[in-house]
Structure 1
Amino acid sequence: MGVDPNAQIHPSAIVEDGAEIGAGACVGPFSVIGPKVTLAPGVEVKSHVVVTGLTEIGEETVIFPFANIGDVPQDLKYRGEETRLVVGKRNRIREGVTMNTGTEGGGGVTRVGDDCLFMTGAHVAHDAQVGDRVIMVNNSALAGHCVIGDDVIIGGLSGIHQWVRIGHGAIIGAVTMVTNDVIPFGLVQGPRGVLDGLNLVGLKRRGVDRADISALRAAFKVLADGDGTFQDKARKLAEETDSPYVREMVEFVMADSDRSFLTP
């Protein structure tokens, strides 16, 4: 594809040979686009941005100044193998954000979904898998191999430990360290993250039916107060519920993971 004739490249920008720039994409002053980068149509790269590595940026994504996107992993096991970063459509990547490519040992691809917001200074590490409509607030960070579900919010100055999974619709409070998996729709807060309830505000904002919210609240009570292990209680819920939201929670708990769970 090369550089589309309808792309707008500022004279001071550096677009290396081999880069692919789609129609209507813009590259601002003093930005650098590496030779293996693909910018889809409508991407806007503002001034003083570096996009490098084997990196794909989806349509209409906007990258703000001083972001570094697609550089090598911050992992001492990395030995220069060619790995990728794939960023979806309509993302907003604000000032100073960093996103790294994957590693051979982690599958080789760091992936970000669509319609996400990464606020100033956020970091997405190697091999992370980030869903759609995720919000990472200022100076929050994902370590390597994290899996972040759709509609997750991660508060400012929070850190997510490597290999942690955060389920769909969960919210992490500000200044929180999360070291274990978080169930879908969970609310985590405190310096050492504690599962402190459900993200009821988020559920209501998304228009989830009141009956499903009531079912989730009942399920959370079973997980908090019922007999047996966390997985035993989840199996019991699977046998008793008709709510698709509770089933999603149960399936998350029963799935394979390298971490244990934050429990109520």
Structure 2
Amino acid sequence: MKNIQRITSAANPFVRLVSAVVHTQRRAAKEGLFTVEGLRIAEMAASSDWRIRHAFVTERALAGERTRALVELLVERGIPVALVSETIFSTLAETEHPQGIVLLAERRERGALDALAAGRSADEPPLYIALDRVQDPGNVGTILRTADAVGVTGVILLRGSADIYSGKVIRATMGSLFHVPFVTGVTAEELAGFAQKEDLQLLATACDETAETHFSMDFRRGTIVVFGNEANGVSEEILNASQHIYIPMRGSAESLNVATAVTAVLYEALRQRCWEGNP
């Protein structure tokens, strides 16, 4: 294919940069970069408005029809594409069985809650979810994917949550990272202030005597639902500022995985907003 550079040396500056981003979290954050690995996720990144710095592909991957179409799209966007050997590619990949395509993309600024509100649709009341120190990358990625499926207004990650740009989070989102508005690094105080300013009901998942079932909540109102850390739940600061909800269970399980809990609550919200009163 035309307009593809062939890189044959592992000492190439671009190869070394991507390798550093993949293997050194501090370097990745300092450079403001992250990698997107895998064909499906790379396709979604390429079709989004995110800025992509560079792409790397192997000869074997380029033999596939979908990969060729992706590379053509990248070239049309003016993104440099490099063909590398399997050996070099192994230094750029994080997965055990890579698919032969990696993108180097730019991180977005942490953003602001006000900007998140300004970008929302005016057609219906906002629905946000907030993650309070949810640290498992697989959970965070799965939650973003579910949030995308439901069409939430935005995802708010409080300080102490998993790095949204880690490879495990990105792969678990299956590309939803590039379509769901989000804000990171938010404090409990900022979250409570945002809820008050925007006149949003602030709900937090908790199992205590004051909690009500999530079925009893009116999710047709503007809402933020907070889900807590896998081991310790929602912080006291947020619990003191919120109404508590719980997901009822009939079996012997002590609790639900946080990603599963998010799914249960969001689909109840979706039901109320789109199907309540309809056959």
TMscore range, shorter length: under 0.3
Higher helix share: 2
Larger strand percent: 1
**What TM-score do you get using the length of structure 1 for normalisation?**
0.27
Higher relative contact order (CA 8 A, sep 6+): 2
